[in-house]
Amino acid sequence: MRSPTPRRPRQGTLTLNLGPLALSSAVLALLFGVVAALATAGFLRRRGHADAGNALYLALGFGLLAARVAYVVGWWPQYAQQPWSILNIRDQGFDRLAGALGLLLAAALIGWRRPPLRRPLAAGVAVGLAAWAFAGLTAYKLATTTHPGLPTLVLRDLDGREVPLETLRGQPTVINLWATWCGPCRREMPVLAEAQRTLPQVRFVFADQGESAAAVRQFMQRQQLTLQHVLIDGNLDLSNHYNVRGYPSTLFLDADGRLRELHMGELSRATLAERLQRITTPAATR
């Protein structure tokens, strides 16, 4: 996922850039938990306990598998339309509760079969889960307090007319930050276009980042896309305001204009439906 021009981080940053790779807060929280678990196991190993490092990796793998399977089962009607998307874990479609339960079950089975690992494995899992939950809660609080509402920005549509973003209040809104050169943006665009056609209760806005109206128009004609609410953000104002570090990134705002979710990376039908459920009534997402 390519990143735009680097900028000075804002307070409450929820992403980390490693070269061209932008890590979301969910991934960062998971990494924090893994590091905490391994550090705990390493500390106990130096104290004379058995080395539980490999067992932790095994339990984590089982937990991630359980989280993915549970998520796919829960959103199967959406995945059934694109079965290949089940393998695309970059859509961040994981069931957290199922993952935690899978991790605990795997750790219990490993400890049952290998008694010397019980204490260090249990300690590592407990500390890792606590660190993961703490990091995730902190990221959520930062996201909801750092950007409480729509910014007072004015963008332009493809005809050059000014569109104040504050006029987007009044109904649930999805703002997709994208660019024509971005491969994942192009892949997810048909999913968003279909949602725009079928969900009139939700306003979908496509804010191109840093390109001209002519380039966007040419791209839409070439791809045979019919989209409403296409805006040009030539100065990356939205990316700066929400501290977006990679594209595509999609903002999910409630009817009052408050940010409820910032999804980094490509959206599948399932992850889009799940995020929409957080800003709309169930009837609006069916």
What's 189's domain CATH number?
A: 3.40.30.10
Domain membership of residue 176 (yes or no) is yes
> Contact, 172 vs 140, CB < 8 A?
no
User: Is residue 14, in this structure, part of any structural domain at all?
Assistant: no
pLDDT digits (tens, 9 = 90+) for 131-140: 999 998 888 7
Sheet holding 173-178, edge to edge: 162-164, 154-157, 230-233, 203-209, 173-178, 249-253, 259-264
- Check whether residue 118 and residue 167 sit in a common domain: no
Asked whether residue 5 is assigned to any structural domain, the reply reads no
Percent of the chain, pLDDT > 90? 63
> Residue 284: which H helix or E strand, with range?
helix 282-285
| 232 CB-contact burial (10 Å; exposed 0-12 / middle 13-18 / buried 19+) | buried
Which residues, other chains included, contact 234 with Cβ-Cβ below 8 Å and sequence gap of 6+? 156, 210, 211, 212
Ranges 13-22, 78-87, 152-161: which has the least confidence:
13-22
- Structural domain span for residue 85: 21-146
More confidently predicted of 97 and 149: 97
Residue 208 is classified by DSSP as E
* Cβ contact 265:90 at 8 Å: yes
Mean pLDDT confidence for 160-167: 92
Residue 15, in any domain of the structure: no
pLDDT tens-digit series, residues 169-205: 889 999 999 999 999 999 999 999 999 999 999 999 9
Answer whether residue 24 shows pLDDT above 50. Answer: yes
Check pLDDT > 50 for residue 19.
no
pLDDT of residue 3: 40
Q: 19: exposed, middle or buried (C-beta count within 10 Å: 0-12, 13-18, 19+)?
A: exposed
Residue 215: pLDDT band by 50, 70, 90 thresholds?
Answer: very high
- Higher per-residue pLDDT: 17 or 51: 51
pLDDT tier, 283 (very low <50, low <70, confident <90, very high otherwise): very low
d(CA 253, CA 251): 6
Phi, psi of 232 (to 5 degrees): -110, 120
280 and 165 together in one domain: yes
Helices 25-46/53-74 angle, 10° precision: 150
Question: Across the chain, where does the E strand assignment appear?
Answer: 16-18, 21-23, 154-157, 162-164, 173-178, 203-209, 230-233, 249-253, 259-264
CA dihedral angle for residue 267, residue 272, residue 278, residue 282, rounded to 10 degrees: -170
**Does residue 286 surpass a pLDDT of 70?**
no
The proportion of the chain whose per-residue pLDDT surpasses 70, expressed as a percent, equals 88
Residue 89 shares a structural domain with residue 128: yes
Q: Do 195 and 95 belong together in one domain?
A: no
Q: What is the pLDDT of residues 216-274, one digit of tens each?
A: 999 999 999 889 999 999 999 999 888 887 899 999 998 888 888 888 888 999 999 99
The pLDDT, as a whole number, for residue 188 is 92
Phi, psi of 127 (to 5 degrees): -65, -40
Are residues 90 and 158 located together in one domain of the fold?
Answer: no
Give me the half-sphere count of Cα atoms (radius 13 Å) on the Cβ side of residue 147: 27
One domain for residues 199 and 254: yes
Residue 99, pLDDT above cutoff 50: yes
